[in-house]
C-alpha cells in the first residue's frame, strides 16, 4: 500500500465515542477536507492512549462527501470499508476493541455494546 493514514486519539474515551458513532464492524467515516478518490486502498493505524500498539487496518474508500457539498449534518470526508484478510483477522480486531472498551468503561458496557463475549467467538 503506497498510502498510509495515522489517526491519533488524545483520549481513550474519544476513540470509544468514535467507535460507537462512526466505526462499525465493517468500516468508518473519516472527516477530512481532502478525501481520497473512491476505490483508493490504503493502510491506516489508530493510536489510542494507554494502548501498547496501534490498531492497523487496510481500507478502501467506498464513498466521498466533497467539501463543496458538505453540510453541518454531513461533513466533508470519506466512508472507508475495512478489508480483512481472514475471519480470524476480523475477530482479532473486534476482540481488541472489546478489551479497550472493557478496560475503560467496564464489562457491563462492553457487553451492552458487543453482546456476551462467548457469543462473539462463534461469529
pLDDT by residue (tens digit) across 20-71? 877 766 888 889 999 999 999 999 889 999 999 999 989 999 999 999 999 9
Q: What gap in Å lies between CA 78 and CA 60, rounded to an integer?
A: 10
Which domains are seen in the chain, by residue range?
4-120 (2.40.10.220)
Count other C-beta atoms under 10 Å from residue 89's C-beta.
13
Closest CA to 62 of 90, 21, 28, 31: 28
What is the reported pTM? 0.76
Contact 74/65 with Cβ under 8 angstroms?
A: yes
First to last CA, the chain: 29
Summarize the confidence of residues 115-121 as an average pLDDT: 67
Q: Output the CA angle 56-4-95, nearest 5 degrees.
A: 10
Amino acid at each position: 500500500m503506497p498510502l498510509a493514514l495515522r489517526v491519533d486519539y488524545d483520549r481513550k474515551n474519544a476513540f470509544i465515542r468514535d467507535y460507537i458513532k462512526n466505526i462499525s464492524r465493517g468500516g468508518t467515516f473519516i472527516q477530512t477536507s481532502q478525501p481520497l478518490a473512491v476505490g483508493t486502498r490504503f493502510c491506516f493505524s489508530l493510536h489510542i492512549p494507554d494502548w501498547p500498539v496501534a490498531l492497523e487496518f487496510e481500507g478502501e474508500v467506498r464513498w466521498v462527501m466533497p467539501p463543496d457539498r458538505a453540510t453541518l449534518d454531513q461533513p466533508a470526508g470519506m466512508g472507508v470499508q475495512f478489508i480483512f484478510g481472514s475471519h480470524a483477522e476480523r475477530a482479532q480486531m473486534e476482540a481488541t476493541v472489546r478489551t479497550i472498551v472493557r478496560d475503560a468503561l467496564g464489562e457491563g458496557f462492553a457487553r451492552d455494546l458487543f453482546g456476551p463475549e462467548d457469543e462473539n467467538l462463534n461469529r
